[in-house]
Structure 1
């Protein structure tokens, strides 16, 4: 038996039809094409229980995917070479863009786990795992450090941080990454944004300095980007 990932995505995406065509097709396309979501499910990087905080969670698509994965696993539709999805992991997302928070509420009603807030100032609850995907590039170096320091204070010892950012030493791939981000900012009406990237080595050094052990791996399969995923464990 193998996991039919596209069918899993289709089921996870279905509630977003209540939020309109754009939200539905964005979530469906993102979950299908971005390799990080398949990797998170297959490799079992998240704990089975506790609380997961997703900073800059967008439309809450990871929450929807995890919930549907657990349903499929309980129904016996799961491959033995894929890790068991988290069973008792509470999800809490924080998202700056109000329309995304509203779309998640349209999709899931009162069950939406997404709250409106700025991750630089929002209160972070105690957690067993934290995830930040493609967000810190919008913050300057001091703000990046502060966010990570706050995560250290809320993350239990042995807890997991999953962080993805573009690798500034990624050559042509990184040029494509930064160009695509600038274009997206312009398309969203945000104007020209200052983007703050680090090299893979610099990210590892910062995370280790803050008390994490770190593994890194490319997370750009099937894309032209320089994305690296940092799988970090709090050790102090």
Structure 2
């Protein structure tokens, strides 16, 4: 299911919190379903089915964190941590193919704050907690946090860019809202050594760095080994035939 993030400017004045230390963070639980459902219906133009609310409030594969102020939920963030092999087709190129299919990624499904409490740093607190969780010693195998956002949602885009997310892909007609197709973007934050597929420039930079730290006498052997690897990758059938005939 497509995620949706809302961080829009509000025409109404926002209520300033006295101190963010008065904000409490806790994980969602099944008793929050009705409250969360009402908030999401108010925040997001996408209608989520009831089972989605059941999942995010009870299934441990979801990281569902609520920001509570005066006993009321005023913000929440929901992310799903799953294997690279479970990604949808449009997201399969988020990580380089050198990462195994069991490598974990986190999909940011929803991030929202009540209109009257926006611009208090609450969204940043929620996102920072998620990132801290993903980069802790307990999650070394999670290599990326990614999300989808409407191309027209400039406040959300600027928010994620400030938090070091990078534009990864353009998704035409990704959303279907109120009977109309809407374009989306994919944004990615790489963690724990994760990175996207390399292009030619990336390979050139990498090998230049390696050569700079290689013994000059060993360079010919090193280059020959790399050429062999490239030939195996580019022409696997031809390479096998050549190797068989030479042996």
Normalised TM-score (structure 1) = 0.28
Structure with bigger helix share is 1
Which has the larger share of strand?
A: 2
TM-score, with structure 2 as normaliser: 0.27
Q: Which protein has the larger Cα radius of gyration, Structure 1 or Structure 2?
A: 2
